[in-house]
Structure 1
Amino acid sequence: MRNTLKNTLIKKLLMYKALLKSQSSNIFGQSKSSDFDQMSYSTTRVEDLKDLSTPSIAPDGLKVYDTVRIFTGDNPARQFECGQQRGGNYRCICGLAAVNHSKFEAAFILKTQSLQQRFDLFKAGTLWKTFNMQNNINRFVNLTKETLTDELDYRNLDIYNLKKPELKTLLTETLHGIQRPPALFCPNFDNTCTTENLEQYEISNCEPLHDIVNVVQNLITELPYHLDDNIQKRISEVL
């Protein structure tokens, strides 16, 4: 009995070994959800993107260039990817203050910033030079009055006779919630969208996953009231 079981296990091991040799295996790892944990993957992601500039050669000699279009459609993933703060008055990556979210005119006037523009705004001061992927990823948090003064002065903003709370508010309004560089710019601050093959990298300004869910829920709720009673009953049974 023991020998039979042993032989069975050996056969299974040999089968799995042959299977692994005959196929390419892809192992995917998922980091924790904090910005600090996810930041540790940025370097590897950038290295993979750089390889896209090398074309694949078809049997007839045709060169095929790959284009990556990454779509991140929900928070907090969107906030991390573009370097936005989580929550707070500027929680939306569109850059509109939460108090103005219901004001359509304010939303229409505000122009959407590209990843490169967000990166340039991050680097417009001096604090970006102390950014560190290992231990200091949010450079605009818990700043002293002296640090706030230096940062705003470097950005050529009028700070005459302002107190610390006013300085903090001015910096917050200037950054529109930007806390760090876009995730794929972090390993090297000399990177640009062109050098990193990020021209097609897209981060939606809205939350389509939430929006679609709400639209579908509204349809499910409203639709039965526009149908005959017998059809309403059948739909209710299905739902």
Structure 2
Amino acid sequence: MVLEIRNLSAGYSQFGVLDNVSLELAEGGFLGILGRNGVGKTTLLKSIAGPVRPVSGEVLFGGENVVGWSTSDIARAGLALVLDRKGIFRSLTVLENLRLAARLHKDKEQRWTVDDVLQMFPRLSERSKAPGGGLSGGEQQMLAIARALLCQPRLLLLDEPTEGLAPKIVDEVVDLLQRLRKSGLTAIVVDQRLETVFDTCDEVIVMSRGTPALRSTSTELRQRPEVLEEHLGV
């Protein structure tokens, strides 16, 4: 298993958010996470990647418990978190952003190169000389994902990759995620759009009150509208 979470509880200050969460993800799996606002989806990603320190439980990444590790140490171990288009340098050009990410991880096996991601993101190739701060929301999202790939991740965590994007750009992001899944990358995708998760992920976890309420294949969950109504109100 790439990731094993055991009895994980976490939150902010005195406010508990995650309650006794357990899950696992095998190499090459694409796992979607759905749930209403406030059920702990983003907190779960942050607890895995390090920005939120769990109160109890274990996060085994590649067999090692990374609870208590710094975010930089977890990232160096091969975990990349893309959070709300953050992680780009607004004053640097697209190409400079990509080259910097590649340079910082040049000691790792190079599964992804700058040329690779520019081929994967034609829009970024066209905008390679534009500053990061001058990109549209969709282009910034693509740049954030491209930079994450240049970290040579073993596990990619994506938080709301299509939030606030125009429908055409959503389609481009979904197409990208499908190609990443076919490449064998392992990922967890949190998104409010059901179709984004269903179209890109093999399995889906629906969270309720800080813990997984059910886990199902995307195909099966599409056919269970009563479950979607109960847990998501759709």
TM-score (norm 2): 0.26
Instruction: Compare the two structures and name the one with the higher strand fraction.
Output: 2
Instruction: Compare the two structures and name the one with the higher helix fraction.
Output: 1
TM-score (norm 1): 0.26
